[in-house]
Amino acid sequence: MTGRPVPRPTALSEPFWAAARRGDLVVPHCASCGLRFFVPEPACPGCMSRNWRYAPSAGRGTVYSVTVVHRAPGPGFDTPFALAVIDLDDGGTLLSHVDAGDPDLVRIGLRVRVDFRTLTGEITLPYFVPDTRD
């Protein structure tokens, strides 16, 4: 994956990346209104409270929307790939790659679970695969 852009953790996102390095998925959870959201923001997008923390996610969900990308967004990306919005079972949504072997197999309603790929020693990306554990 030479030349692929690598995320740069910020003070706000570092706990997310640290959890991913451990093989855990976490999402922001607002203590004031209960909303789970992603991407991390200084304030909850539901109620504007700054009283949120990262909470563990089981990392299982359903594909809400999907597109197959045929033109690489930049160097280092292998195409085609499936990019999907995932509705997490425990709340919130994530935009992520779904690796089903063949991107055309990724469909709305597909059950998925999180997995992780290490890009560098510091960055491990969550991505999703079909969930066959039901």
pLDDT at 2 over 80: no
Please count the CA atoms within 13 angstroms of the CA of 63 that sit on its side-chain side: 26
**What integer pLDDT is reported at residue 117 of this predicted model?**
94
Segment 23-35 shows an average pLDDT of: 97
pLDDT tens-digit readout, 90-121: 999 999 999 999 999 999 999 999 999 998 88
As a whole number, the mean pLDDT across the chain is 94
3-state secondary structure 17-54: HHHHHCCCEEEEEECCCCCECCCCCCCCCCCCCCCEEE
Interatomic CA distance for residues 44 and 31, integer angstroms: 9
